[in-house]
């Protein structure tokens, strides 16, 4: 398998480090920032060709798989182009930014013989797998998810796309909180309606998008969700569940309270790459991506699967206090 990475920023370098550690063939790197890309290449794959134009890279290298690690507004076009060329894709979250892009991506996935995988790595967390298994055959009465992180001016000024409607497509929900909302939805099932409100509480004049959002989802299993980037530090995301029999179950990345017991899941420190909030599952997911391609097994988080949380996000953004069908 000859792989290429497009976008060698914060998370693209995590992908590169993992490909190097897993001894996979990095056939090309591409970034419009040649300096940053050259530094990354020098550290992990000094003889690998580098490109500043991704279409030229695809034409000249014809990689078997492409990792898309660019800002949100570029995901749809890059995914569709690669899939239409029969190139397997691992795209960073979010899958896309707009409902129309989602339909186009799903159509491209349908007509392509290549696999589309989306980097929602928290689904691979041992703590999440444990809670999912624990809840099998148990009925959830209600649930709530919370993400309270800290993203201030320095973070938003670190790249031009951050905090903009046109390039990020939203704020805390589509970026930082997507993973926790996805896990909550995985446990509760797909809701039918949402009522949501969002605001920019602390970063007016700095970002165009929301720093805080609250949403109530209605359906067979109702759940609520709160996300904010206005905290003073990154608290562990949390999902609180009450079962029909009154039992409380709580998921956090490294602890699950279930059956009256605190079950601990500590990540191996040397497996955490990039920011600690990314967790250590990028490596597990990337390994599974290549195993799936080589064995022909469908990757579990494909476009159709990633679309499920995207529909919740799009409806929550549309809501503005009104009940919106998902």
Q: What is the DSSP string of 202-271?
A: S-TTT-SS-SEEEEEEESSS-EEEEEESBSSS-PPPEEEEEETTS-EEEEETTEEEETTEEEE-PPPGGG
Beta bridge partners of 226: 146, 214
Which residues are 196's β-sheet partners?
Answer: 215
- What is the closest distance, in whole angstroms, from the C-beta atom of residue 10 to ligand NAD in the complex? 4
Segment near ligand NAD (CB under 6 A); pick from 1-9, 149-157, 210-218, 292-300: 1-9
- Does 71 contact ligand NAD by CB under 6 A? yes
The stretch near ligand NAD (CB under 6 A) out of 15-23, 28-36, 222-230, 302-310 is 28-36
Burial of 237 (0-12, 13-18, 19+ CB in 10 A): buried
Residue 74 within binding range of ligand NAD, rule CB under 6 A = yes
Residue 118 contacts ligand NAD per CB under 6 A = no
As a whole number of angstroms, the distance between CA 191 and CA 175 comes to 20
Task: Work out which of 121, 127, 228, 319 binds ligand NAD, going by CB under 6 A.
Answer: 121
Q: Could you say whether residue 303 binds ligand NAD (CB under 6 A)? A: no
d(CA 32, CA 323): 42
Distance CA 251, CA 262 (A): 10
Of 3, 28, 92, 209, the one binding ligand NAD (CB under 6 A) is 92
Q: List phi, psi (to 5°) of 280.
A: -115, 20
By rule CB under 6 A, what string of x and - marks binding of each residue 161-200 to ligand NAD?
--------------x-------------------------
Q: Quick check: 125 binds ligand NAD (CB under 6 A)? A: no
32 in contact with ligand NAD (CB under 6 A): yes
The residues of the shown chain that bind ligand NAD, judged by CB under 6 A, are 6-12, 30-33, 36, 54, 69-72, 74, 92-93, 119, 121, 159, 175, 278
């Amino acid at each position: 398998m000859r792989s290429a990475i497009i976008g060698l920023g914060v998370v693209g370098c995590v992908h590169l480090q993992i490909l190097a550690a897993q001894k996979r063939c990095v056939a090309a790197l591409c970034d419009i920032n040649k300096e940053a890309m050259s530094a990354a290449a020098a550290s992990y794959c000094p003889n690998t060709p580098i490109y500043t134009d991704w279409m030229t890279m695809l034409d000249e290298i014809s990689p078997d798989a492409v990792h898309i690690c660019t800002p949100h507004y570029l995901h749809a076009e890059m995914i569709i182009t690669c899939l239409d060329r029969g190139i397997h894709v691992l795209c960073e979250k979010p899958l896309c930014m707009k409902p129309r892009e989602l339909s186009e991506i799903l159509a491209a996935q349908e007509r392509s013989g290549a696999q589309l995988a989306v980097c929602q790595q928290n689904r691979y967390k041992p703590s999440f797998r444990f809670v999912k298994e624990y809840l099998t055959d148990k009925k959830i009465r209600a649930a709530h998810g919370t993400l309270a992180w800290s993203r201030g001016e320095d973070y938003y000024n670190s790249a031009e796309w951050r905090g903009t409607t046109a390039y990020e497509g939203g704020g805390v929900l589509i970026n930082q909180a997507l993973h926790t909302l996805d896990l909550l939805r995985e446990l509760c099932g797909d809701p039918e309606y949402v009522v949501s409100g969002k605001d920019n509480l602390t970063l007016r004049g700095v970002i165009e998008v929301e720093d805080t959002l609250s949403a109530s989802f209605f359906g067979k299993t109702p759940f609520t969700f709160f996300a904010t980037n206005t905290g003073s530090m990154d608290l562990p995301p949390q999902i609180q569940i009450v079962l029909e029999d009154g039992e409380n179950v709580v998921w956090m990345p490294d602890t699950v309270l279930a059956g009256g017991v605190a079950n601990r899941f500590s990540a191996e420190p040397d497996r955490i790459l990039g920011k600690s909030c990314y967790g250590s599952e990028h490596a597990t997911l990337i390994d599974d991506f290549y195993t799936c391609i080589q064995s022909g097994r469908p990757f579990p988080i494909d476009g159709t699967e990633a679309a499920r949380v995207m529909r919740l996000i799009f409806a929550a953004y549309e809501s503005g206090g009104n009940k919106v069908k998902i």
